[in-house]
Amino acid sequence: MKGQANMGDTVVGVDYRPPDQEEEVNEAFYRQLEVASRSQALVLMGDFNHPDICWKSKMAKHAQSRRFLQSIDDNFLTQVVEEPMRRGVLLDLVLTNKEGLVGRIPWVRALEGKGVQESWSVFKHHFLRAQDQCIPKSRKSSKGGRRPAWMSKELLEKLKGKKEVYRMWKKGLATWEEYRDVVRECRGATRKAKAHLELNLAGEVKDNKKGFFKYISSKRTTRENVGPLLNEVGALVMEDTEKAELLHALFASVFTAKADPQESQTLEVSIKSCKRKTFPWLRRIGLENI
């Protein structure tokens, strides 16, 4: 992605790591991260699900988290998020390989002395300006205009040649046998291209699950929708708007529930006890208050 501020090429990525992700997938991600970190400017953000990492000391309890820290150090990346966003745990991270590329915006100073409407206008102006500078624009193509994944440049040239032979045959400039041979050749090449693509997707399904299931979804004749849902009183919800509101309320309830004071105190004691048992050497280096 190339902006308009002469900052060079910037690679922006978003990643989500499930807590139970397999080790093979983790290693594949680290290999991709090694390649991406060679770019001039990289910004990688997402939920990496490593709650046991202490970013002040760059230490972790679990082996997967320590492997994640090692990959960050090996690729000279910097983690810029400092404050936890969810229940005191830092899960959403922003990694970059260029100092000063990502930073805090001094909104307090920028909006000082301004009213609500004026503050919104300032924020909207800067947001739209950053959007124009950083988000590339491209022409949206219709679904019918997209090439199939199995369509190669050579096969496309053959299909164009078939149309040309067809026009020549209609004008009497080519024989039926010539047109028939071209049609058979194109049909065979198309079948081979489809079979080759499906074979590659099946063989690389562990490393390319997204591409595999995307191809499977493209072959479906029907699309799955959200079925009827039960609300809090046990009644069926059929309308799309009501379904959206019900799902929104359920999703919001996960982040608005307040923990019981006794539960919070018990959790704090458990964390301190865990630190003493798991990291007894923290006291010797002065990190027991992390």
Distance, CA of 162 to CA of 168 (rounded, Å): 10
Q: CB-based contacts of 40: which residues, under 8 Å, 6+ apart?
A: 8, 9, 10, 98
Please write the tens of the pLDDT for every residue from 63-108: 999 999 999 999 999 898 887 776 677 888 999 988 777 776 777 7
Q: Phi, psi (5° rounding) for residue 96?
A: -145, 155
Predicted model pTM:
0.41
Strands 92-96 and 41-47: antiparallel
Please write the tens of the pLDDT for every residue from 3-34: 333 445 778 889 999 988 899 999 999 999 99
Rg (CA), the chain: 28
Angle of CA points 28, 33, 34, to nearest 5°: 100
Residue 157: alpha-carbon gap to chain centroid: 35
| DSSP assignment letter at 51 | T
Please write the tens of the pLDDT for every residue from 124-160: 888 888 888 777 777 666 555 577 888 888 999 999 9
- The hierarchical CATH code for the domain 10-104 is 3.60.10.10
